Structure 1
Amino acid sequence: MTIPNMGLLTIGSPLDWPETKKVALFIREQGIKQFLSLYHKLNSRMKHTLKWGDEIEYTLVRIDPSTHAAQLYLGASELLKLMNEKKSDISDEITWQPEYAEYMIEGVPRIPFGRLLDAFNTVECNMKKRRLDLVANLPEDCIALTISAFPRLGCDDFCYPVAKPTPDSGASRSLFFPDAAITQGHPRFKTLTRNIRERRGAKVAINVPIYRDTCTPQPFIENFPNQNDPTSTSAALPNHVYLDAMGFGMGCSCLQITFQACCIDEARILYDQLATICPIVMALSAATPAIRGYLLDWDCRWGIISASVDDRTEEERGIKPLCNDQFVIPKSRFASVSFYLSPMGAKFNDIPLVYNKDYYNTLIEGGVDHTLALHVAHLFIRDPISVFSESLNCPENEETVEHFETIQSTNWQSMRFKPPPLNSSIGWRVEFRPTELQLTDFENAAFVTFILLLSRTILKFNLNLLIPLSKVDENIATALKRDAVLNEKFYFKQGHLITTDGTPVDLAKSCSKFKFNRTYSTQYDLSDSNCTICRDEQYVNASSSCNSTSSFAEVNPDDSYMLMSVNEIINGTSTFPGLLPLIRHYVQETGGHLETIDLINSYLDLIQKRASGELMTTAKWMRSRIMKHPDYKMIRVYLLK
């Protein structure tokens, strides 16, 4: 199994938007045919071994030797070329890939992780090796950070070599973000930037609530450098930080986790169940308190990146009546999921789904079930925005999914449902996408461990965390807010309904001993050759999901949830067992080497303390550091050292 990057990185000659628009219908129709072919070949594929991995997007920063000022280093393309040519013992364990910005590079494990629980011993180690490999190949005055967003992104001279924005020409036409900061080594990224802007009919408009400090004007209204740009003046909202380019979103970094399911049905279950977790993890991992030098009243990048790739026209946004376009589309391409895929999710799908009825009918006639057909037909309401001329010349009978992936890879949802690639042994997968990137390898490994173990816990105990999808959307909006992890409430499943049979009493009792104590009553030392504990689950993607006929409680969706704090969701209450106690119970039942259990405990302790407020989120820590910085002027950071 390979760990995919931000999109389909085809090499070739990119089409501009007018050319892309002409072939959009062809791309979509061929994409549907390709999905049908893939589905019939692979829908019954079973994979009994769990494989999984993470993706980390590193930010390259130069520290000026004389002033100690920090700037983003525009050298990723050359660095990537160097690292691919220069082989080392470390690089054999890592795959490096280009990312959106010229100051970003993505690193993934070359070989996916596998066996539980022992694999958790290697995650942080692999992350450390990635960082060491990067630093070893960077210039001496540069460092590699795992940071969600550079606080001065978009300020004057924020990058090195210094590059100026070109608001009257180029791909983004931004007042703040120069095209030179877009990756130069692959044409996809500038093509996406230009085509999103041209399809929309205007620059993207991103407005982030500003944090009101003692010197923040009331109202806060900016004067922009280019007075000949009326679009920016009209698009910018009072009391908001205005951003105007794709680079402000895709130029942020994140942590993503992909794992293989045992079958398509299990993948659909995990897609649904983890969709409800996305806002909670977003709040726990919050790491984006500042951009363009301003402190924000948000703590997460999600709303920024969603608006940064919003290519919907005024008709599609409902500003004008439909005339030239087919659909009014409620969300950006980058948004929370809009549809549950598993049978138990059907009654919780309370968001009106926009989908292409012609493609839906084609999929149904081709043998795809109703729910999956709706999901794919929903993805295909979007136009392709990055097409290479060479892809149009493929013979129709050639085995490929390139046109399907052209649409799939530019639907950036909080969860991604991933069919197996053709001509590979990989199974059906899901990708968990909302986690904010943390500053240390330990923290990033902790979030990977938490999410992976939660997925296993859901399958092991047949948990049902589903709530109406509209409430998940509300939770996403809540998770963005400053200090949401401490100050906000989230809709979550009521404790007596968290298992598929609606009777979790025994499970709750088993978990209760873990609520405030991480010590296990039993630990299995697998180094003992006489140990007879059955350990098949450490190798097998074992759940009853593919063959299960068990029913789940018939509960009115509107009666299935209640408001809870992140601390209550993670650590539990008198009526809710808590996600961490459930995970600890799973770990106890699975067993493992004592050293591995201790390491897992240390990771879970971090999540526990973040949820309780004992440890600050990355966003809160960064905010406090910025506010104490001598260059912070109670409204903006003008220089960052």
Structure 2
Amino acid sequence: MGLLSQGSPLSWEETKRYADHVRRHGILQFLHIYHAVKDRHKDVLKWGDEVEYMLVSFDHENKKVQLVLSGEDVLETLQEKGERTNPNHPTLWRPEYGSYMIEGTPGQPYGGTMSEFNTVEDNMRKRRKEATSVLEENQALCTITSFPRLGCPGFTLPEYKPNPVEGGASKSLFFPDEAINKHPRFSTLTRNIRHRRGEKVVINVPIFKDKNTPSPFIETFPDDEAAKASKPDHIYMDAMGFGMGNCCLQVTFQACSISEARYLYDQLATICPIVMALSAASPFYRGYVSDIDCRWGVISASVDDRTREERGLEPLKKNNYRISKSRYDSIDSYLSKCGEKYNDIDLTIDKEIYQQLLQEGIDHLLAQHVAHLFIRDPLTLFEEKIHLDDANESDHFENIQSTNWQTMRFKPPPPNSDIGWRVEFRPMEVQLTDFENSAYVVFVVLLTRVILSYKLDFLIPLSKVDENMKVAQKRDAVLQGMFYFRKDICKGGNAVVDGCGKAQSSSEPATEEYTLMSIDTIINGKEGVFPGLIPILNSYLENMEVDVDTRCSILNYLKLIKKRASGELMTVARWMREFIAHHPDYKQDSIITDEMNYSLILKCNQIANELCECPELLGPAFRKVKYSGSKTDSSN
């Protein structure tokens, strides 16, 4: 969840007074880092994943499942038993937005050898088993993206009622502040987003119209603000927790140099909507069946702090810019020279910061990227962190950087560290099992190896990537959606990282460079149209020295991705929809009851802990192991 400073948080009005101070010193901190490490080369490949988990409790007698608000206690226990006792502990645990959430990562980053791919799933299993071991009876650790009844009455344990009156952090009609992590950053973020925006956040998700769903579907709320904000035929939500209270799967890579990091950032940005649709896992919101499969738009709206002026609803008077997107959205500019001609989105930048960066010797593309990030205000500021040593600290830079939550994140090294230039791949939805999560991680990491080895070029106009992001969130996008994708990915020449060879010969992208493709075509290939990413990865593997066990694991992972893309296996979102649709209590009215939710999450937990088969989701590639990572009695 980014920067976690300790101290006394300031109110929005106090933070606002220091906004220019934070931006000014954040740029100075960035410049110190840049000048210190801009020429750094030959960093070794390192990478790591982040998995977010929910803590749930099963009431088997009453057939109810709730989110357990014990994340802080569980985290404290795990850290005490793990990294504080042994600095080389194989897993690390960190807080997340919800007090029912925790985040797990490998204790040390993975390296550049192919055999590392064979350790990912084992480490994820260790995390699940380790966290489960400190839970109470009938509690479980779940990797589900969105809890179906999040925001419904009694969805937490202990149960709390939301507090929509002034004084609360979110003022939500549905989401109690007690479900927010107790670290002051999280409630302060929640409160300050609302105060800066001038009203509560507004999230409207289209409802899935089933046979007995009212048409129009309209909810009534005892609140004028909600009545105005909610839309017919939409599920209305009003708090940061509905977005940041979901779980995801992320991967961070260390590149060998800044130029390689920028190149990877651009290439992977085009892959984000494809992998998001492939990993779709969140079809339910606030107890209803929605008409979307991914959380991206929900989380984007949940942290949208733009004022009415910045959203273009009122003339600019108090604010400086019209801003086209939430601060949680897809990227707005490519960073490499080969991406420059594809930057076709109007970019709002802080012109003074842009000029300052140019004068310091930073090139146009990187300068505009940073100047675009810094049109945003800091959302949290701690009294003890106002005055810093800009040459040796980066809190002000990270304050802005880490609250620009985009599909990709370009990450400069921390000051005075041996960490290199990194990029973070952020669009994936978390999957039910360690096998699936490992498959998606290995697929993306392997793709980066192939991009760098074969000097591949996936770039298309960024406006088309944005269109792909919209398509990717739709119901069954993996089967129904058509996505803009580059036809000839080997056309870029031989030296893509240092300058684009043939790709630089034209200043404008040609429309024939890309076309609409299905995800099946992009992933598996289609003769005469596109070779397919999986065949390219297989070709790469054939030319690599890989031990038999590792090769077998990788091929199993790629088989899962291949079959999800073709439709032979379901996405998690499609499987969840089918489960609810066939539940005996479902009345084809788009409503998910407590008992239906209980049945679904119990089944998810059984699948995650390999206590039952699920061939329509996992296929025969799924490998069985002996342990049970659950403290719930699954026989009920």
Which TM-score applies when normalising by structure 2?
A: 0.91
Deviation sequence 1:426-475 (CA, Å, 0-9, x none) = 11000000001000000000000000011111111111100000000000
- Aligned partner of 2:568 in structure 1 is 614
The Cα shift of 1:633 comes to 3.1
Q: Return the alpha-carbon distance in structure 1 between the equivalents of residues 578 and 513 of structure 2.
A: 38
The Cα shift of 1:554 comes to 3.8
Q: Return the alpha-carbon distance in structure 2 between the equivalents of residues 371 and 86 of structure 1.
A: 45
Q: Which region of structure 1 is more displaced relative to structure 2, 86-95 or 554-563?
A: 86-95
Aligned residue type for 2:554:
I
The Cα shift of 1:338 comes to 0.3
Q: Return the alpha-carbon distance in structure 1 between the equivalents of residues 312 and 110 of structure 2.
A: 45
The Cα shift of 1:552 comes to 2.4
Q: Does the 8 Å contact 2:338/2:500 carry over to 1?
A: no
The counterpart of 1:623, out of the listed 577, 581, 584, is 577
Answering whether residue 411 of structure 2 is matched by residue 418 of structure 1, we say: yes
Answering whether residue 129 of structure 2 is matched by residue 132 of structure 1, we say: yes
Q: Return the alpha-carbon distance in structure 1 between the equivalents of residues 409 and 441 of structure 2.
A: 16
Answering whether residue 425 of structure 2 is matched by residue 428 of structure 1, we say: no
The counterpart of 1:176, out of the listed 169, 174, 177, is 174
Alignment of 1:419-568 (within 5 A): 419-494=412-487, 496-501=488-493, 547=498, 550-552=501-503, 554=505, 556-557=508-509, 558-568=511-521
Q: Return the alpha-carbon distance in structure 1 between the equivalents of residues 570 and 344 of structure 2.
A: 35
Q: Return the alpha-carbon distance in structure 2 between the equivalents of residues 89 and 188 of structure 1.
A: 27
Number of residue pairs matched by the alignment: 589
Structure 1 residue matching 2:432: 3-state secondary structure: coil
Q: Does the 8 Å contact 1:306/1:335 carry over to 2?
A: yes
Q: Return the alpha-carbon distance in structure 1 between the equivalents of residues 132 and 2 of structure 2.
A: 25
Deviation sequence 1:489-531 (CA, Å, 0-9, x none) = 000001x3543139xxxxxxxxxxxxxxxxxxxxxxxxxxxxx
Alignment of 1:95-134 (within 5 A): 95-134=92-131
Q: Does the 8 Å contact 2:338/2:504 carry over to 1?
A: no
The counterpart of 2:527, out of the listed 558, 565, 574, is 574
- Aligned partner of 1:377 in structure 2 is 371
* Cα distance change of structure 1 residues 497 and 587 upon mapping to structure 2, 3 Å threshold: closer
Structure 1 residue matching 2:252: 3-state secondary structure: strand
Q: Does the 8 Å contact 1:265/1:545 carry over to 2?
A: no
The Cα shift of 1:483 comes to 0.2
Structure 2 residue matching 1:552: 3-state secondary structure: helix
Alignment of 1:323-362 (within 5 A): 323-362=317-356
Structure 2 residue matching 1:276: 3-state secondary structure: helix
Structure 1 residue matching 2:93: 3-state secondary structure: strand
- Aligned partner of 1:536 in structure 2 is none
Structure 2 residue matching 1:387: 3-state secondary structure: coil
- For the aligned residue pairs, the C-alpha RMSD in angstroms reads 1.5
Q: Return the alpha-carbon distance in structure 2 between the equivalents of residues 256 and 417 of structure 1.
A: 14
The Cα shift of 1:47 comes to 3.4
Structure 2 residue matching 1:41: 3-state secondary structure: helix
Q: Does the 8 Å contact 1:7/1:409 carry over to 2?
A: yes
- Aligned partner of 1:167 in structure 2 is 164
- Aligned partner of 2:558 in structure 1 is 604
Structure 2 residue matching 1:277: 3-state secondary structure: helix
Structure 2 residue matching 1:271: 3-state secondary structure: helix
The Cα shift of 1:548 comes to 6.0
- Aligned partner of 2:282 in structure 1 is 288
Aligned residue type for 1:431:
E
The Cα shift of 1:251 comes to 0.1
Q: Does the 8 Å contact 1:475/1:491 carry over to 2?
A: yes
The Cα shift of 1:599 comes to 0.8
- Aligned partner of 1:638 in structure 2 is 593
* Cα distance change of structure 1 residues 619 and 40 upon mapping to structure 2, 3 Å threshold: same
The counterpart of 1:11, out of the listed 6, 14, 17, is 6
What are the ranges of 5 or more consecutive residues in structure 2 without an aligned counterpart? 599-636
Q: Return the alpha-carbon distance in structure 2 between the equivalents of residues 48 and 430 of structure 1.
A: 14
Aligned residue type for 1:115:
G
What are the ranges of 5 or more consecutive residues in structure 1 without an aligned counterpart? 1-5, 503-543
Aligned residue type for 1:353:
L
Q: Does the 8 Å contact 2:243/2:298 carry over to 1?
A: yes
- Aligned partner of 2:543 in structure 1 is 589
The Cα shift of 1:551 comes to 3.5
Q: Return the alpha-carbon distance in structure 1 between the equivalents of residues 154 and 123 of structure 2.
A: 34
- Aligned partner of 1:530 in structure 2 is none
The Cα shift of 1:19 comes to 0.3
The counterpart of 2:16, out of the listed 8, 18, 21, is 21
Q: Return the alpha-carbon distance in structure 1 between the equivalents of residues 428 and 526 of structure 2.
A: 25
Q: Does the 8 Å contact 2:9/2:383 carry over to 1?
A: yes
Alignment of 1:49-88 (within 5 A): 49-87=44-82
Deviation sequence 1:572-600 (CA, Å, 0-9, x none) = 11121111111111111122111111110
The Cα shift of 1:395 comes to 4.4
- Aligned partner of 1:309 in structure 2 is 303
- Aligned partner of 1:222 in structure 2 is 219
* Cα distance change of structure 1 residues 150 and 90 upon mapping to structure 2, 3 Å threshold: farther
Deviation sequence 1:584-619 (CA, Å, 0-9, x none) = 111111221111111100000000000000000000
Deviation sequence 1:367-421 (CA, Å, 0-9, x none) = 111110000000000000011111113245x511110000000000000000011
Answering whether residue 313 of structure 2 is matched by residue 319 of structure 1, we say: yes
Q: Return the alpha-carbon distance in structure 2 between the equivalents of residues 121 and 638 of structure 1.
A: 40
Structure 1 residue matching 2:141: 3-state secondary structure: strand
Q: Return the alpha-carbon distance in structure 1 between the equivalents of residues 129 and 543 of structure 2.
A: 36
Q: Does the 8 Å contact 2:479/2:565 carry over to 1?
A: yes
Aligned residue type for 2:251:
I
Structure 1 residue matching 2:587: 3-state secondary structure: coil
The Cα shift of 1:546 comes to 5.2
The Cα shift of 1:210 comes to 0.4
Q: Return the alpha-carbon distance in structure 1 between the equivalents of residues 112 and 16 of structure 2.
A: 46
- Aligned partner of 1:45 in structure 2 is 40
Q: Return the alpha-carbon distance in structure 2 between the equivalents of residues 18 and 115 of structure 1.
A: 47
Q: Does the 8 Å contact 2:338/2:496 carry over to 1?
A: no
The Cα shift of 1:560 comes to 1.6
- Aligned partner of 2:601 in structure 1 is none
Identity of aligned residues (%): 55
Q: Return the alpha-carbon distance in structure 1 between the equivalents of residues 447 and 178 of structure 2.
A: 41
The Cα shift of 1:217 comes to 0.8
* Cα distance change of structure 1 residues 368 and 577 upon mapping to structure 2, 3 Å threshold: same
Q: Return the alpha-carbon distance in structure 1 between the equivalents of residues 52 and 230 of structure 2.
A: 29
Answering whether residue 351 of structure 2 is matched by residue 388 of structure 1, we say: no
Alignment of 1:184-199 (within 5 A): 184=182, 186-199=183-196
Q: Does the 8 Å contact 1:266/1:545 carry over to 2?
A: no
Q: Return the alpha-carbon distance in structure 2 between the equivalents of residues 104 and 631 of structure 1.
A: 29
- Aligned partner of 1:249 in structure 2 is 243
Aligned residue type for 1:286:
A
Q: Does the 8 Å contact 1:90/1:129 carry over to 2?
A: no
Aligned residue type for 1:613:
G
Q: Return the alpha-carbon distance in structure 2 between the equivalents of residues 497 and 38 of structure 1.
A: 34
Which TM-score applies when normalising by structure 1?
A: 0.90
The Cα shift of 1:637 comes to 1.1
- Aligned partner of 2:358 in structure 1 is 364
The Cα shift of 1:223 comes to 1.4
Deviation sequence 1:176-230 (CA, Å, 0-9, x none) = 000000001x110000000000000000000001000111111111012xx2x21
Aligned residue type for 1:638:
T
Q: Does the 8 Å contact 1:497/1:553 carry over to 2?
A: no
